[in-house]
Structures are given as C-alpha cells and as structure tokens.
C-alpha cells in the first residue's frame, strides 16, 4: 500500500481556496455580477437576507437524539445548509462576520463530535453519529467541507487545526476507514461517502483521501467513485434504481466531479465513459412529466426537476456545454445558484437564450453494459403531451418494485394510468419515523400495485429481491416513426411456469385528432393459471359497457397476501364466455384534467372464465397510510392468453363553461390477428373508419422495404419494416 501511495500524482492543490465547486475565478466573476442588475444579483439578495436572519440567531449544535424529521435531525441539516450559504456570502461580500459565524459553528462541531457515540436512533448497518444514518453524515460533510473551504483563508492555523482535528477529519475517517462497507459500496450511499471524503482530501491536501474516494479504501478499484461511474449508470445514463434515486444520487456525482475538474482537470472526469455524467443529467430531466419525475420503484411522487440536485446538475452541465435547452429547464426550476455555473445560467436567462427542452421518445437501456432490459418512453416533444412509460428494466436493487413490463400513461399534465410510487411520508415522525412504511413492502412493491400481469395472486419472483436482481426482461425491439412508436419486451423468469411478452404502441392519427395506445400482452404457460391484469386509473369512474355487481353494504378484501390484502373488492363483472364474436369490455373514467379516458379490452370467445374486478386500496391499513386509489383488474383463467387493449383519451368535461363533449369512446371494435411472426390489431371506430396496426415481431433487424404481408379475412395487407399503421382501410367488412 505504501508503494501505491508513492506512485500517486500529488496534484491536489491546497494553496488556493476556494477550489471545490467554486474557484477563485468564479468568485471574481460573481463579485462583479452582484454589482449589476439581473437574475444573479436577485438570487444573491434573497440569499443574503436569509443568511442575515440566520446570523441574528444563536448557533445551536445539539446533542444528536432524533431520527428523520425530528428536531436535532432537522437542526443539523439546517446547520450544514447555513454554513454553506453563509460561507458563499462571505466569499461574495468579503465581510468578516460571515466567516466568523461559520467558524463559530464549526468550532462547536469540533467540540461536540469527538465525544459522540453512534446515533441512539440508528436503524441499519450504516449508522451515523450526528444523524441516525451515515448517509446524512456524508451529506453533512459534502456541504461542510465546502463551507470550510469558503472561509479557510479567514482562519488562523490554530483555528484550522481545531476544526480539522475536531470535526472534519473525524467525520471523514468515520465515513471512510470506519465504515468500509458503505464507503466501498457501489451504491448511492457510497457515492455520498466518497464525494465527501474526496472533496475533503482536496481541501486538506490529503491526496490519499482523493485516491481512496476514486478507487476504494485499498485503491483496489473494487469500489470508489470511478467504479460507481462505471456501474451505477447504464450507457444511456439510466440509474438502476430509477429516476427518483437517480436525482438524489446525482448530487454527489456532479458535485465531486466538478471538484475533480477544478483540481485535476487532467482527469477529464466529465469526458469519462463518453460523458456519462452529462448523459445522466440529461436522462434524469428527460424521465419526467410535467416537471415531476416518473415514479418508478421506490419514489416519492412530488419530486421533480426543480429539486436542488437537478438545479445543481443542470447548472454544472450548462457550465460545461452551454446547451440552451438546459436554460429551459433552469427557467422552470426557478432557482439560481450562487456558483460560477449558476452565474452562467443567470446570464443566459437574462439574455433569454433558452430553447425548448425536447421531451422525445427514447429507449433508456438498463445495466452497466446496457444489456439488462430498458425503460421505454413514448411521447411527442412537449412536456404535457401524451406520454407512455413502459418499464422493462432490471429490478433496481433494494428499492426496486416487482413490476416487470408495467406501464404508466400521462396526458394533459396529469397521471392517467398510474404507479403508486413509494408508501412513505418523508420525515413525518408519526408515519414510521418518516421512513418507508410497512405498506411499502406489503403493497407498493408488490406486482398487483402496478399495471402488469400477476399470476395466481403472487408477485414476480415471488417478491424475492435476490432472485429478481438476477433476471431482467429481454428487449425485442424499439421503433420510432413519425406517428407511431412501438416497443416489445418479454420475460420468462418472473414466474416458474409462465412467460409473457408485451408490446406497446403509441399511435397518433392526425386526421382523427386521436392519440391511442395499443397494448398486446401475450402470456404462455404449460398449465392453467389465474391471470390478473390491473389498470390503476386516476379519476372518477363514468361508465362501463357491461354490468357490474357492486358490493353495497359489506366490503371484503380481494385476497390475503402479496398486496391483495390491501384491496377492497367494490364490484365484480362476469364477462360473457360464449359470445359469437369477440367483444370489448370498456371502462370509461374522467380525469381531473377534464378529459375522458376509455380502456377497451378484447373479451375473447374461447370459453375462458373472464371477469373484471373493481377495487379500492385501503384494506389492512390500520394506520391509514395508503391513498384510497381505484383500479380495475381484468382476470382470466387460462394457460395461454393474449390481452389486447386500447387506451383512448377523448372529449372534454368543462363544468365551468357548462359543456361536455365526446364523453363516450370512439372505438367500436377490435380484433387481433397473429400469423407466425406477424401480428395485427384491427380497429374500427364508431364512425366506421378502420385502421390496421401491423407488426413484424421478427428478431432480425428489418428494413424499411415492404416485406411483410398479413392476410385478414382473405385480404392481403402488405406493410413496411417493423410496423405500420394502415388506414383508413378501404373496406366495408369487419371481421
């Protein structure tokens, strides 16, 4: 190890302060900017006022006692934020009182920290001392080391020594040498720890700490920041836990990377792995709808692109590449950072240089090599256009949900077919101490909480994380055309006997001003099973085209385990088994956005027992932790079955202006055809117009030449490439 150390380039430059996210040039530019009107000076004035209020109050560094949301927890959080803010105000104004305040708080931490045992409320293996979780301790140091860097030059050597030996070094050692498991872990907790320790290494001129942060405690490259960059993001910048944790994880990634760039530009950290960090920032922003991140896996649904992590990410990215579309995001974030990059953003916005950030369809591959499934997003460019999210990703470790091949749908600003997200009230003490609720495991993670297939009332992989982490879906194709986006994926490992393949198409029919979703879910098994396909809809049920038998005076749970124990069964419909022709089971609801949505599913004629169940969440919930959301579940008893469904937004309910238009579905009939690798969904609208969505499921790459011909009722329909929407068809017949 000693040999290794000697071979390190000792490039950390302790002579200039500050030199982490903000350097001396940045400070000079910012000092100039606050003398001129504009967004930056405004942000400075607001922050100055806040900081001055802080200065008027006594410093309090309490003995750690409370868990998340509790007093001491929140106080230590606000302390590091206040040290950071006050430090930057010192840099911008040069007024000693600000440095003095930060120094005094740091001295209190230096007096407190050495005596602290591990936190009394610690809950998991990664305990902290100031906080119940070591994670919070790392966040504390990421902020505090920057604050210390800001006031470094204002301190005497003796003061520095007291603060470093009392607080900063012990915290850094606690996070690294004394917590090797977390520090070396390729996981966001590891990223916070390595960022904290690495940045401390730069400020304290301890190059070993930087190297350990980059390459793990033993410099063995089994963990550390570089390994995290290699493994935690896919080549498309997708983070395996999903956008909610991606946003959170971004903060230490971009912060530490920026510090590396300032101190050791020769590492070209932002170019690493084809610019994986900028890619990840862009991907996180893209994985949002109407400013909110897609709630995949454990995700609190109110998190959006305006969170502080993405404000940082967008600013740092803009500082590097000057992409004017990032200014569009910055404008929506409505927060200007007091950093060099924040200044560039402010100047760009002052000059109104922003260009619309395009929310386009895309395939975001999962897995460090991009071969572990993918997240597919189908959308039309504007932030509130119809958006279909098709989740064919890998499990996403401990925060993953058992929801292979699930989907979500958004329209006109709202969730239409939704995902529950996480069952958690962040930092509310009365709700399981602000952590994940028991219902996160018993409901939110279970398959039935999502819009995908549940076999025999058991969750995918039997709800076992270890097993789930070993498997992922196979992506068959992703195809994007002018008015048609498709993707197909399958998985045969979620259940022992059952494989399923799901193909989604988002179809724009401009001449009808219609955007519809086609969903083909083909299930195969050797034995008969019970298949449940839920749709968690957002809105008020308006109508169904079949009779429902409602439970009027008593409710019971739908099942007893795997999430089913949380569902009240409101109504049941037995769908006809012996129709002469296939029919549609249609459910229409009204969303708060004032639009109607009809979900039409093919009811097949093959004598299978088919039901539609209407449920509401909330059973077995003694603490009323769950939201009372509705769903309908299509249930089929079969061994092989293909679910074919269409979701159609239509009409408008406008009680303010007293009109209602198009409250009923425009889809009259569907049929589904399968001929070897070819399949087709035939759609007839109520006005008689007919369309055919023809798809070639071949595993080969396909050219754009006509090469497939599907035969329907004796008529040959040739089509191009992977898929085509044919129509309006020139035919009077409907099979």
Q: 173: which DSSP letter?
A: H
Set 399, 460, 529, 650: catalytic member: 399
Q: Is 95 helix (H, G, I), strand (E, B) or coil?
A: coil
Is the CB of residue 418 less than 8 Å from the CB of residue 442?
Answer: no
Residue 245 is among the residues annotated as catalytic for this protein:
yes
412 is a site residue for a copy of itself (CB under 8 A):
no
Q: Is 661 helix (H, G, I), strand (E, B) or coil?
A: strand
Measure the CA–CA gap between 64 and 490, rounded to whole angstroms: 49
- Strands of the sheet containing 690-696, edge to edge, are 667-675, 678-685, 690-696, 723-726
Q: Which is nearer to a copy of itself, 123 or 627 (CB)?
A: 627
Binding to a copy of itself (CB under 8 A) within 529-558 occurs at 540-543, 548, 550, 552-557
528 is a site residue for a copy of itself (CB under 8 A):
no
Q: Which is nearer to a copy of itself, 203 or 311 (CB)?
A: 311
Binding to a copy of itself (CB under 8 A) within 3-42 occurs at none
Q: Which is nearer to a copy of itself, 456 or 549 (CB)?
A: 549
131 is a site residue for a copy of itself (CB under 8 A):
no
655 is a site residue for a copy of itself (CB under 8 A):
yes
Set 90, 245, 390, 537: catalytic member: 245
302 is a site residue for a copy of itself (CB under 8 A):
yes
668 is a site residue for a copy of itself (CB under 8 A):
no
Is the CB of residue 612 less than 8 Å from the CB of residue 575?
Answer: yes
Residues touching a copy of itself, count (CB under 8 A): 57
Residue 399 is among the residues annotated as catalytic for this protein:
yes
Cα angle 360, 365, 370 (rounded to 5 degrees) comes to 150
Q: Which stretch binds a copy of itself (CB under 8 A): 58-66, 85-93, 344-352, 568-576?
A: 568-576
Is the CB of residue 11 less than 8 Å from the CB of residue 263?
Answer: yes
Task: Please report, for residues 165, 663, 670, 680, the alpha-carbon distance to residue 505 in angstroms, rounded to integers and kept in the order given.
Answer: 61, 24, 15, 12
Q: Which is nearer to a copy of itself, 511 or 554 (CB)?
A: 554
Q: Which residues contact 180 (CB under 8 A, 6 or more apart)?
A: 217
Task: Please report, for residues 170, 450, 713, the alpha-carbon distance to residue 202 in angstroms, rounded to integers and kept in the order given.
Answer: 16, 46, 73
* Interacting residue with a copy of itself among 83, 315, 590, 723 (CB under 8 A): 590
431 is a site residue for a copy of itself (CB under 8 A):
yes
Is the CB of residue 391 less than 8 Å from the CB of residue 399?
Answer: no
Is the CB of residue 693 less than 8 Å from the CB of residue 623?
Answer: no
* Interacting residue with a copy of itself among 93, 380, 467, 620 (CB under 8 A): 620
Q: Which stretch binds a copy of itself (CB under 8 A): 144-152, 485-493, 614-622, 691-699?
A: 614-622
54 is a site residue for a copy of itself (CB under 8 A):
no
* Interacting residue with a copy of itself among 308, 561, 576, 709 (CB under 8 A): 308
* Interacting residue with a copy of itself among 425, 597, 634, 719 (CB under 8 A): 425
57 is a site residue for a copy of itself (CB under 8 A):
no
Task: Please report, for residues 573, 576, 585, 630, the alpha-carbon distance to residue 570 in angstroms, rounded to integers and kept in the order given.
Answer: 11, 20, 18, 9
219 is a site residue for a copy of itself (CB under 8 A):
no
430 is a site residue for a copy of itself (CB under 8 A):
yes
Cα angle 319, 321, 326 (rounded to 5 degrees) comes to 75
Q: Which is nearer to a copy of itself, 11 or 654 (CB)?
A: 654
Q: Is 110 helix (H, G, I), strand (E, B) or coil?
A: helix
Give residue for tokens 């959301």: 629
565 is a site residue for a copy of itself (CB under 8 A):
yes
C-alpha count within 13 angstroms, C-beta hemisphere, residue 124:
10
* Interacting residue with a copy of itself among 658, 687, 699, 732 (CB under 8 A): 658
Measure the CA–CA gap between 703 and 479, rounded to whole angstroms: 12
Q: How far is the CB of 628 from a copy of itself (least distance, A)?
A: 5
Is the CB of residue 203 less than 8 Å from the CB of residue 148?
Answer: yes
Q: Which residues are catalytic?
A: 245, 399
| Residue ranges that bind a copy of itself, judged by CB under 8 A | 69, 74, 77, 300, 302-304, 306-308, 425-431, 434, 540-543, 548, 550, 552-557, 565, 568, 570-571, 588, 590, 614, 616, 618-622, 624, 627-628, 630, 653, 655-661, 663-664
């Amino acid at each position: 190890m000693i040999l290794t150390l000697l071979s390190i380039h000792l490039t950390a430059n302790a002579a200039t302060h500050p030199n982490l996210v903000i350097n001396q040039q940045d400070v000079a530019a910012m000092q100039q900017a606050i003398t001129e009107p504009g967004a930056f000076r405004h942000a400075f004035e607001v922050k100055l006022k806040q900081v001055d209020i802080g200065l008027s109050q006594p410093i309090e560094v309490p003995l750690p006692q409370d868990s998340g949301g509790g007093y001491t927890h929140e106080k230590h959080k606000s302390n590091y934020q206040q040290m950071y803010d006050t430090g930057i105000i010192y840099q911008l104004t040069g007024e000693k009182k600000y440095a003095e305040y930060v120094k005094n708080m740091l001295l209190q931490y230096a007096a407190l920290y050495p005596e602290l045992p591990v936190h009394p409320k610690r809950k998991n293996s990664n305990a902290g001392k100031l906080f119940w979780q070591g994670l919070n301790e790392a966040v504390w140091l990421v902020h505090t080391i920057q604050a210390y860097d800001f006031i470094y030059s204002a301190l005497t050597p003796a003061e520095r020594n007291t603060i470093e030996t009392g607080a900063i070094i012990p915290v850094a050692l606690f996070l690294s040498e004394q917590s090797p498991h977390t520090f070396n872990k390729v996981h966001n907790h590891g990223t916070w720890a390595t960022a904290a320790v690495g940045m401390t290494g730069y400020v304290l001129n301890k190059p070993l700490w930087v190297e350990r942060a980059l390459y793990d405690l033993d410099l063995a490259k089994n963990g550390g920041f570089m390994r995290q960059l290699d493994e935690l993001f896919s080549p498309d910048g997708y983070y395996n836990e999903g956008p909610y944790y991606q946003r959170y994880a971004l903060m230490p990634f971009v912060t530490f990377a920026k510090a590396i760039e300032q101190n050791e530009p020769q590492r070209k950290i932002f170019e690493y792995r084809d610019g994986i960090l900028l890619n990840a920032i862009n991907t996180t922003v893209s994985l949002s709808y109407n400013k909110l991140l897609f709630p995949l896996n454990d995700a609190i649904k109110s998190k959006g692109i305006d969170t502080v992590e993405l404000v940082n990410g967008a600013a740092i990215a803009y500082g590097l590449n000057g992409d004017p579309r990032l200014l569009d995001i910055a404008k929506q974030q409505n927060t200007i950072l007091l950093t060099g990059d924040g200044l560039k953003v402010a100047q760009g916005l002052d000059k109104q240089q922003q260009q619309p950030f395009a929310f386009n369809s895309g395939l975001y591959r999962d897995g460090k090599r991009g071969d572990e499934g993918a997240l597919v997003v189908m959308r039309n460019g504007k932030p509130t256009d119809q958006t279909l999210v098709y989740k064919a990703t890998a499990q996403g470790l401990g925060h993953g949900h058992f929801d292979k091949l699930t989907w979500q749908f958004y329209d006109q600003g709202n969730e239409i077919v939704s995902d529950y997200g996480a069952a958690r009230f962040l930092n509310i003490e009365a709700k399981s101490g602000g952590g994940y609720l028991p219902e996160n495991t018993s409901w939110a993670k279970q398959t039935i909480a999502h819009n995908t297939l549940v076999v025999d009332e058991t969750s995918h992989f039997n709800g076992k994380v270890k097993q789930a982490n070993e498997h992922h879906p196979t992506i068959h194709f992703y195809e994007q055309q002018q008015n048609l986006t498709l993707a197909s994926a399958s998985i045969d490992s979620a259940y022992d006997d059952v494989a399923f393949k799901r193909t989604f198409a988002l179809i724009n029919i401009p001449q009808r001003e219609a955007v519809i979703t086609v969903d083909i879910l083909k299930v195969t098994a050797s034995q008969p099973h019970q298949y449940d396909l839920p749709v968690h809809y957002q809105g008020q049920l308006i109508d169904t085209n079949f009779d429902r038998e409602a439970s009027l005076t008593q409710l019971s749970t739908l099942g007893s385990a795997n999430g089913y124990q949380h569902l009240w069964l409101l109504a049941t419909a037995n769908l006809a088994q012996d129709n002469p022709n296939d029919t549609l089971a249609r459910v229409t609801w009204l969303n708060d956005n004032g639009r109607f949505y009809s979900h039409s599913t093919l009811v097949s004629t093959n004598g299978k027992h088919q039901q539609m169940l209407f449920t509401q969440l909330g059973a077995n919930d003694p603490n009323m932790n769950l939201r009372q959301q509705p769903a309908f579940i299509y249930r089929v008893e079969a061994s092989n079955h293909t679910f074919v469904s269409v979701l159609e937004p239509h009409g408008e309910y406008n009680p303010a202006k007293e009109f209602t238009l198009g409250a009923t579905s425009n889809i009259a009939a569907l049929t589904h055809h399968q001929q070897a690798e070819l399949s087709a969904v035939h759609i007839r609208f109520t006005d008689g117009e007919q369309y055919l969505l023809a798809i070639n499921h071949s595993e080969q790459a396909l050219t754009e030449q006509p090469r497939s011909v599907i035969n329907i009722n004796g008529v040959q329909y040739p089509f191009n490439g992977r898929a085509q929407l044919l129509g309006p068809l020139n035919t009077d017949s409907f099979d």
